[in-house]
Structure 1
Amino acid sequence: MARRELARFLRERRAALAPGTVGLTPGATARRTPGLRREEVAELAHMSVDYYVRLEQARGPRPSARVLEALAEALRLAPAERGHLFRLADWPAPPAAPAAVRRVRPHVAGMLERLPGTAAIVTDACYGLVAWNPLAALLFGGDLGRGTTNLARRRFLGQGAMYAGSTAGEFGQVVVARLRRAAERYPHDEQLASLLDELHADSAEFRQIWAAHPVYAPGHRTKVIDHPELGRLRLNCDVLLVPEDDQEVVLVTADPGTPSAHRLAELAARLQAGPRVTRRRAGASGCGSSGPRATRSSRA
């Protein structure tokens, strides 16, 4: 293993990564050096600070392939950089994923089923809808839940808006940042390429945001939607990651005791005896397809 070269590579990539790129704020005190701190990289990679420091000082043991994957994710390495990291540690670089995962795992679908008072959806890496619960379908309406929804197409091509006001502008930034990341991770995904071509061709707003290289970090956000029956709702959106499939679970709730919470409860009450969680059938895609697709109920 090329310990010194590996240590130098980690230090260089850490120094080149701005805190805002990974959703961190610079803090009240000035940083002595550019980039992330060692403890920040260790936290992002879910490893001890001491272990990471030893790697940067060329004193650590040979990292496992799993540790290298965690470091590549934490440092936001491009595919070529990721391959170089593996080679420095004398590991064969795993092949790049050919395409985004477009099927939801049963335990993830089951989690949505156990959240009757929360609107919940699962999206793949290119914002295709892969699972949703009935409350989400009622809340967001439009084509949500018909098996082909892509939230990027919905946002930029007018196929059923989800958010209102400034929230819509923020969501546009989030969508483009995630699609840019997906394009880097899945350069051979034909359906993703088709989606990007469509968005570039038909949306000037998408082209403008894409050129600005927006940065997105999953986390808590407040959203506003205009529901056709319930009026304007102020909602909380929290994201849980499914890292093994590069998917996101979005949980939508309202602050207790607010008018939005009461209206969301009204929607949930309609569903007590209704359908269960729905997910895509195998082969259905949220990236490039816009025609109707069958869905089926899942019980975890």
Structure 2
Amino acid sequence: MDKRQLADFLRSRRERITPADVGLPAGPRRRTPGLRREEVAQLAYISTEYYTRLEQTRGPHPSREVLAGLARALRLSDAERDHLHHLAGQPPGPPPGPSREVRQSILDLLRRLPLTAAIVTSATYEVIAWNDLAAALMEDFSARSRRDRNLVRRVFLGPHLDGRRLYGVSDADAFARMSALHLRATAARYPGDPEVSELIHDLLTGSEDFARLWGSNDIRTVPALIKTFQHPQVGPVTVNCDVLDITDRDQRVVIYTAAPGSPSEAALHLLSVIGTQRMTTAVRP
């Protein structure tokens, strides 16, 4: 265990994260960049004293559970998580929770689809990457917190506009049923992840529909290959929906395309021009 390098690494990762990145208020008297030590400790479910000792090279050998908590709290990439384990003298094991790190090749793919709306979702249905047209068709994801970019939260817990759920899309009820069943499989793959557990708890306590679907034994799902978005500016946009699985990251690329020569293709072209605002496809921490 290299205590000095471990301390330096933890400090550098802590200083790069803003309170807003993790849903905390900045406060008027914040003197240092990034998070405070007590905030990292709270997010990692360890004591402030324990975390402070790690940054001061006085800490004991951290357990795998502590390292997993620190990796989550500091929003480490897969490579950074492995590096943290090596610094602590622990061989890295499998990721404790769903990966949110999108491969650069996938991000490049999204950028090269100017007339195709495309998003990437994690195993928990959080939108973790998108292109400009997807933001114009669905919503400006960059203006939403991580919590509000979760499609399962959106479809079961709102906000609901005019009685419609999930961006006014035509298959919201079918998506709700499919996502609930898929989320059960996700929970089985990541039994120790607190974010997965929190998501399921919120859905079970906040939605009778989700609780009913969660308790069912029906595992059959039929994905919607065609869906219609009711867009407030250009009206109904009917698109083909294709999903590409990224098995090594447990992620999905969702691609929306319109039939050539159709009014919906013209609507997508218009949205690609007016957009919401100019933004870069990105993974938000």
| TM-score normalized by the length of structure 1 | 0.57
Deviation at 1:115, TM superposition (A): 0.7
Residue matched to 1:125 = 123
Task: Letter of the 2:279 partner, please give it.
Answer: P
Question: Is 1:150 aligned to residue 150 of structure 2?
Answer: yes
Instruction: Assess, with a 3 A threshold, how the Cα gap between structure 1 residues 225 and 216 changes in structure 2: closer, same or farther.
Output: farther
Matched, 1:162 2:174: no
Give the deviation of 1:178 after TM superposition. 1.6
* Distance across 2 between alignment mates of 1:216 and 1:137: 31
Coordinate RMSD, CA, aligned: 2.6
2:263 to 259, 262, 270: 259
* C-alpha contact (below 8 Å) 1:132/1:145 kept by paired residues: no
Report the alpha carbon displacement of residue 96 of structure 1 after superposing the two structures with TM.
Answer: 6.0
Give, in angstroms, the shift of residue 269 of structure 1. 2.2
Q: CA deviation at 1:128?
A: 1.0
**CA-CA distance at 1:212 after TM superposition:** 2.1
Does the 8 Å contact 1:235/1:255 carry over to 2? Answer: yes
Please tell me whether residue 135 in structure 1 is matched to residue 133 in structure 2: yes
> Which residue of structure 2 aligns with residue 192 of structure 1?
196
Q: Find the residue that maps to 1:278 and give its secondary structure.
A: coil
Q: Which amino acid aligns with 1:102?
A: R
Per-residue deviation, 1:192? 0.6
Q: Is the 8 A contact 1:224 1:233 kept in 2?
A: yes
Equivalent position of 1:116 in the other structure: 114
Map 1:64-79 to 2 at 5 A. Answer: none
Contact 1:219–1:239 (8 Å) recurs in 2:
no
One-letter code aligned to 2:205: A
Where structure 1 has 5 or more consecutive residues not aligned to the other structure, the ranges are: 1-93, 282-300
Question: C-alpha separation between the residues in 2 aligned to 1:272 and 1:147?
Answer: 17
* Counterpart secondary structure, 1:154: helix
Contact 2:136 2:275 in 1 (8 A): no
- Aligned positions of 1:223-262 closer than 5 A: 223-262=227-266
TM-score, length-scaled by structure 2: 0.60
- In structure 1, which of residues 203, 210, 213 is the aligned counterpart of residue 214 of structure 2? 210
CA spacing shift, 1:218–1:246, aligned 2, 3 Å:
farther
Match of 2:179 among 161, 165, 175: 175
Cα offsets for 1:205-243 (capped at 9, x unmatched): 111121224436696611122111112221111001110
State the alpha-carbon separation in 1 of the partners of residues 277 and 201 from structure 2. Answer: 42
From 221, 226, 230, give the equivalent of 2:225. Answer: 221
- Give deviations 1:225-264, integer Å, cap 9, x for gaps: 2111112221111001110000000001111121111101
Tell me, yes or no, if the aligned pair for 1:153 and 1:159 is still in contact at 8 Å.
no
Identify the residue that residue 84 of structure 2 maps to in structure 1.
none
CA contact (8 A) 2:228 2:238 kept: yes
- Contact 1:219–1:238 under 8 Å retained in 2: no
Q: Residues 4-43 of structure 1: matches in 2 within 5 Å? A: none
Of the structure 1 ranges 268-277 and 207-216, higher mean CA displacement relative to structure 2 is found in 268-277
Give how far 1:146 is off.
Answer: 2.9
The residue identity in structure 1 corresponding to 2:118 is A
Shift of 1:275: 2.5
- Tell me, what secondary structure is at the counterpart of 1:110? helix
